[in-house]
Copies of this chain bind each other. A is one copy, B any other.
Amino acid sequence: MPRAKEFDESEVLDQALEVFRVRGFKHTSFEDLTQGLGVSRQSIYDTYGDKNALFHAALRRYLERGLEFVGRKLDDRSPIREVLAGLFEGMNSNNCGKSSPGCLMVNSMVELAPHDAEVRALAQKHARGVEGLLASRIGIAQREGEIDKAKDPVALARFFYHTMLGLGVASRALGERDSLRDSVRMALQVLG
């Protein structure tokens, strides 16, 4: 029988995700990884493949987690404005941690999408996924009379998604928590 793995493969992937989120892909060297993960070079190669594969795995995980998070938040049947405010607030909290790393998906869309087809595909998936969840939750709110039925739920969802992208950029580069909150309040006014 083989020796048991000494590090938690999933846990270390999370750490890698965090390193990439803070430093970006190109700006992260393998030494940054070995140091940040507390795992040797060779073990990283054996377990995840090369730097690209590790990054893609991290981004895929981030994507899944993100969609779960959005889905969970939107399952709440409180008033739609409160639900969306909670969703945005949760995202801002996540993006504005110590060193405000922003959103890995947003960062990757900007840094890598033009050069990396897989990242581009994941970005599409992210956009379609989040927009879809938002649109269907908005549809529910419309049926329950919370939002004017004349509004286009798909267009609303896209607008909110684009707003999220902007908040991701702002949290990484400007990092003013309060103004993000203000913007969320404003964005929610499009619900009428």
Q: List residues of A whose CB falls within 8 A of some B CB.
A: 22-24, 26-27, 99, 101-102, 106-107, 109-111, 113-115, 120, 123-124, 127, 155-156, 158-159, 162-170, 172-174, 179-180, 182-183, 185-187, 189-190, 192
Contact = CB atoms under 8 A, between A and B. Distances in A.
A127 B165 contact: no
Contacts of A102: 110
Contacts of A173: 109-110, 113-114, 120, 123
B169 A110 contact: yes
Contacts of A107: 110
Contacts of A164: 166
A169 B172 contact: no
Contacts of A183: 155, 158-159, 162
A22 B114 contact: yes
A128 to B, nearest CB: 10
A170 B22 CA distance: 21
Contacts of A167: 162, 166
Nearest to A174: B127
Q: Which of A102, A124, A163 has the most CB of B within 10 A?
A: A163
Given A26-B27, A158-B182, A179-B158, A114 B172 contact: yes
Contacts of A186: 155-156, 158-159, 190
